[in-house]
Amino acid sequence: MIQLGAAVLCDAATIRENVLHVLGAGVSQMFRGNFPAPLGAEIALLLYIDGEPNVEVQHRVTGECRLRNSDAESVFGFEYTLRTVIEPNLGAQSVSAIIPATGFGVPEAGAYEITIAVDDERVGAIPFTAILDEGLPQQQFHIVGKRSASM
């Protein structure tokens, strides 16, 4: 069994001894001087896994970003395989992951959602809004095809 404990956009994150350290969690608005623009945030995930002790478990974790309430093509995505061995007598165990998404691109202003799935089953989502602020400096950023990360 696997459950999503937390999924956030953040300024930065690290993992030490499987403890997730997050700085600036809960980014929900991103002001940019022009579009397309870099996402400029990381994705931090905390998953809880339970199962048979001393057995390696493997789960496919994916994320896909789209404009909210739209059938538009995916803006960016990520995929990684989570592998761990369930330790005996500990019950559910946490597994942390950081998706380095700062270089992923956002093509236009609007409301977006990053859908998180485990083994092709949706377990959560991270909503955010990209907002045009013409008072900010403009950046040169080009999106070449769909950006993705595999870990």
Residue 116 belongs to a domain: yes
Q: Which residues contact 71 (CB under 8 A, 6 or more apart)?
A: none
Identify which has the larger pLDDT, 151 or 71. Answer: 71
The count of domains in the chain is 1
CATH number of the domain within which 83 lies: 2.60.40
Q: Which residues contact 8 (CB under 8 A, 6 or more apart)?
A: 22, 25, 26, 27, 43, 44, 126
Average pLDDT, the chain: 89
Residue 136 belongs to a domain: no
What's the pLDDT score for residue 96? Answer: 93
pLDDT digits (tens, 9 = 90+) for 28-48: 999 999 999 999 999 999 999
Strands (E) in the chain, as ranges, are: 2-10, 12-16, 19-23, 29-32, 37-38, 42-49, 56-67, 76-85, 93-99, 105-106, 110-118, 121-132, 147-150
The residue range of the domain holding 82 is 2-28+40-123
Residue 80 belongs to a domain: yes
Identify which has the larger pLDDT, 45 or 146. Answer: 45
Reading the block at residue 65, the tokens are: 């970003």
What's the pLDDT score for residue 143? Answer: 64
pLDDT digits (tens, 9 = 90+) for 105-132: 999 999 999 999 999 999 999 999 999 9
> Given a cut of 50, is residue 151 above it in pLDDT?
no
Residue 96 belongs to a domain: yes
Q: pTM for this structure? A: 0.88
Contact 45, 4 (CB under 8 A): yes
Which of 45-54, 67-76, 124-133 holds the top average pLDDT? 124-133
pLDDT mean over 140-148: 58
What's the pLDDT score for residue 136? Answer: 80
Residue 131 belongs to a domain: no
Residue 110 belongs to a domain: yes
Q: Which residues contact 145 (CB under 8 A, 6 or more apart)?
A: none
